């Protein structure tokens, strides 16, 4: 494992930092997990490739079964990685979150963001809809919590997620953001629920670029979309099994209260 | 046998049952913390594409994800509630090119067989190919 300078355990989740971690203001924590269409995972992976951020830490969930580490060039690293570029901290997960750790992980990440004085938490996820098959360019919607981010959404003319439920870690981010004094936005890109969808990820990245005022090219992502889909077939299957346990497919359905 | 012995027996029985119950509960909820390393022991099936089925009021839409497929090689057939899709990739792709390690395998064709979930008029089936995805549309048979 890389040399750890700072280690904190929050809610049973271990955060390790390989260097001093200071973020300039306004600071962003950008989070994406493998979920519907692998939108979050593909987006984060592309941002890392484009911006070349420094790997500054890792996150481990000791309760996860089977115990897992990822090895690159012989070196073992935690399954979730932390990258930093300027005022942005990226959380990159190589695996979908099992339902039993979603709660502890989400609360721990919010607390970690608070301790690191993050201003905005940005989640990137897929909104699985059947209609995606008829759309060349998927739309991206935003759900938010907090006045500062509301202002940014208005200024950047980002389309709002009008009505529906959000499930999984981003539900906790949105619900609890105020308690942790964090402004949160979740970007939901229309996607094929159970097929990897780099085009949806590219649409989400375009909206993210606007929010963080940083140009992120999506050219390579679209060029290599078919390779990316082929490469991520197995993780999509594993993710689909996880999503069925969380009930992720319910996000696009109408809600009971329509007042 | 004294009363104490009787109580000891009951105590040990209750303890044993509690341990069994704990084990049962643990295994029942174990999936909650388990990362699904779901590939079969002989490795993932590289030539079987992912698919999704989308039902509208009037039709059944099947989307087959076939990245790098040669458009001219597509075969789509339907009979007796089954759909069969076949095709060649534009070139042979080695497993290590797409991130698989320690695996001497390659993909040169796709093959998929699946059940059509609702009654459809397969004689009016049509398909299109775009961005490495085959989209098959079949009108649903309306029940009177």
Give me the DSSP letters along B18-38. HHHHHHHHHHHHGGGGB----
User: How far, in Å, CA of B61 to CA of A132, rounded?
Assistant: 11
For residue B112, how many other CB atoms are within 10 A of its CB?
21
Q: How far is CA A108 from CA A9, A80, A90, A95, A103, in A?
A: 9, 13, 15, 18, 8
Give me the mean pLDDT over the B42-58 stretch: 84
Q: Is A74 on the interface with B (CB under 8 A)?
A: no
Tell me how long chain B is: 144
Taking an 8 Å cut-off on Cβ atoms, the answer to whether B29 and A100 are in contact is: yes
- A48 with A141: CB under 8 angstroms? no
* Structure confidence by residue, pLDDT tens digits, A159-173: 999 888 888 899 999
Tell me how long chain A is: 259
* Structure confidence by residue, pLDDT tens digits, B98-109: 777 666 778 889
Q: Is A197 on the interface with B (CB under 8 A)?
A: no
Q: Tell me which of 3.40.50.10900, 3.30.1540.10, 3.40.50.460, 3.40.50.1970 is the CATH number of domain A6-246.
A: 3.40.50.10900
Q: Is A164 on the interface with B (CB under 8 A)?
A: no
pLDDT confidence tier of residue B35, bands split at 50, 70 and 90: low
pLDDT at B63 exceeding the cut of 90: yes
Which residue, among B48, B46, B43, B39, has the nearest Cα to B112 in the 3D structure?
B48
Structure-model confidence comparison of residues B35 and A75, the more confident one: A75
Contact map slice: A 89-148 vs B, CB within 8 A: 95-96, 98-101, 130, 133
pLDDT confidence tier of residue A259, bands split at 50, 70 and 90: very low
Token digits of residue B107? 């993909």
Taking an 8 Å cut-off on Cβ atoms, the answer to whether A130 and B38 are in contact is: no
The domain made up of B50-139 is a member of CATH 2.60.40.790: yes
DSSP symbol at B133: E
For residue A154, how many other CB atoms are within 10 A of its CB?
10
Structure-model confidence comparison of residues A35 and B143, the more confident one: A35
Which strand (E) or helix (H) includes residue A157?
Answer: none
Q: What local confidence, expressed as pLDDT, does residue A188 receive?
A: 95
The ipTM (two decimal places) reads: 0.83
Average pLDDT of every residue of chain A: 89
Give me the mean pLDDT over the B10-19 stretch: 82
- A5 with A17: CB under 8 angstroms? yes
Q: What local confidence, expressed as pLDDT, does residue A150 receive?
A: 94
> Looking at the partner chain, which of A98, A193, A245 has a beta carbon nearest the beta carbon of B52?
A193
Name the percent of chain B lying above pLDDT 90: 44
pLDDT at B51 exceeding the cut of 60: yes
Ranges A106-110, A194-198, A243-247, B132-136: which has the least confidence: A243-247
Q: On the CB side of A112, how many CA atoms lie within 13 Å of its CA? A: 29
Ranges A205-214, A230-239, B29-38: which has the least confidence: B29-38
User: How far, in Å, CA of A213 to CA of B124, rounded?
Assistant: 50
User: How far, in Å, CA of A188 to CA of A201, rounded?
Assistant: 10
């Amino acid at each position: 494992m890389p040399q750890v300078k700072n280690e904190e355990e929050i809610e049973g989740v271990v955060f390790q930092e390989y260097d001093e971690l200071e973020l300039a203001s306004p600071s962003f924590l950008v989070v994406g997990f493998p979920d519907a269409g692998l939108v979050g995972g593909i987006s984060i992976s592309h941002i890392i490739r484009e911006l070349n951020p420094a790997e500054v830490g890792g996150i481990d969930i000791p309760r996860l079964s089977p115990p897992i580490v990822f090895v690159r060039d012989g070196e073992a690293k935690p399954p979730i990685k932390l990258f930093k570029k300027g005022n942005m901290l990226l959380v990159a997960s190589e695996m979908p979150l099992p339902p039993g750790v979603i709660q502890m992980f989400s609360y721990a990440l919010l607390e970690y963001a608070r301790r690191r004085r993050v201003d905005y938490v940005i989640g990137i996820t897929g909104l699985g809809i059947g209609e995606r098959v008829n759309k060349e360019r998927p739309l991206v919607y935003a759900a938010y919590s907090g006045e500062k981010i509301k202002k940014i959404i208005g200024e950047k003319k980002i389309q709002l997620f009008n009505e529906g439920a959000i499930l999984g870690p981003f539900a906790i981010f949105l619900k609890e953001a105020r308690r942790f004094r964090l402004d949160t936005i979740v970007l939901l890109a229309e996607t094929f629920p159970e097929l990897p969808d780099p085009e949806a990820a590219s649409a989400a990245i375009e909206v993210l670029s606007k929010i963080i005022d940083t140009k992120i090219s999506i050219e390579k992502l679209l060029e290599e979309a078919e390779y990316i889909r082929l490469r991520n077939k197995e993780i999509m299957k594993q993710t689909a099994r996880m999503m069925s346990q969380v009930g992720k497919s319910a996000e696009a359905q109408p809600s009971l209260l329509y007042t | 046998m004294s009363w104490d012995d009787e109580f000891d027996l009951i105590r040990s029985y209750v303890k044993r049952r509690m341990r069994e119950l704990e084990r049962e509960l643990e295994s029942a909820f174990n999936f909650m913390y388990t990362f699904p390393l779901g590939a079969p022991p002989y490795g993932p099936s590289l030539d079987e594409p992912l698919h999704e089925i989308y039902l509208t009021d009037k039709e059944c839409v099947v989307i087959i994800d076939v990245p790098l497929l040669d458009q001219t090689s597509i075969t789509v057939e339907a009979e007796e509630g089954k759909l069969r899709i076949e095709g060649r990739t534009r070139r042979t792709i080695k497993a290590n090119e797409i991130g698989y390690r320690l695996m001497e395998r390659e993909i040169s064709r796709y093959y998929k067989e699946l059940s059509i979930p609702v009654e459809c008029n397969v004689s009016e089936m049509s398909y299109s190919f775009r961005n490495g995805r085959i989209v098959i549309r079949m009108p649903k048979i309306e029940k009177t």
